[in-house]
Structure formats: C-alpha cells, structure tokens
Amino acid sequence: MMSESNVINEHVKRGRRTVQLAVALALFVALIYTLTFSRLPVWLPALH
C-alpha cells in the first residue's frame, strides 16, 4: 500500500508526463505540417 504522499507524487508526475507527451506530439504535428508546406517532397527526384 502506497503512502498518501507517494500517491499524490505519482499523480503529479503522471500529470506532468501527460502534458509533456501531448506537447511533444503537437510540436511534431506542427513540424510535419511545416515541412510539407516547404515542399519537401519536391526534393525527392525519383518521383519526377
């Protein structure tokens, strides 16, 4: 059985990990969007 403070710490840690992961994934989405907008696929000569 975990102590009350350990449970609260675990809860806080989980909340922090949730935000960090969600922000990282949102930034990844923004990166893909920007790369596409910069016409990255045009640089792939095999497709032309």
Partner 1 sequence: MTQAITAVAHDQHEHPPAGIMRWLTTTNHKDLGILYMSFGAIMFFIGGVLIMAVRAELLFPGLQLLSPGMYNQLFTLHALIMVFGAIMPFATGLNNYLIPLMIGAPDMALPRVNNWGFWILPFAALLLLIPFFLQFSGIGSGASGLGWVMHNTSLDLQGGIGVDFAIFAIHLLGLSSISGAINVVVTVLNMRAPGMALMKMPLFVWAWLITAFMLILAMPVFSAAATMLLTDRHFGTHFFDAANGGDPILLQHLIWFFGHPEVYIVLLPVWGLIPHILATFSRKPVYGYRAQVYALWAICFLSFIVWSHHMLTSGLPLAAEVYFMYSTMAISIPTSVLVFCWLGAIWRGAMTFETPMLFALGFVAHFGMGALTGLILPDVAVNAQYHNSYVIVSHFHYTFFGGGIFGMLAALYYWLPKFTGRMFDEKLGRLHFWLTVISFNMTFIPQWFAGLDGMPRHIADYALRFSTMNFISSVGAFLLGLSQLLLVYIVFKCVRSGPKATGQVWEGAQGLEFTLPSPPPYHTFETPPAVK
By CB under 8 A, residue 12 contacts partner 1: no
Instruction: Give the nearest distance from C-beta 46 to partner 1 in angstroms.
Output: 5
- DSSP H or E segment with residue 3: none
Query: Distance of CA 29 to CAs 1, 15, 32, 38, Å?
Result: 40, 21, 5, 14
Minimum distance from CB of 26 to partner 1 (Å)? 6
Q: Which two tokens stand for residue 13?
A: 């840690």
Residues that bind partner 1 (CB under 8 A): 1-4, 7-8, 11, 14, 17-18, 21-22, 25-26, 28-30, 32-34, 36-37, 39, 41-42, 46-48
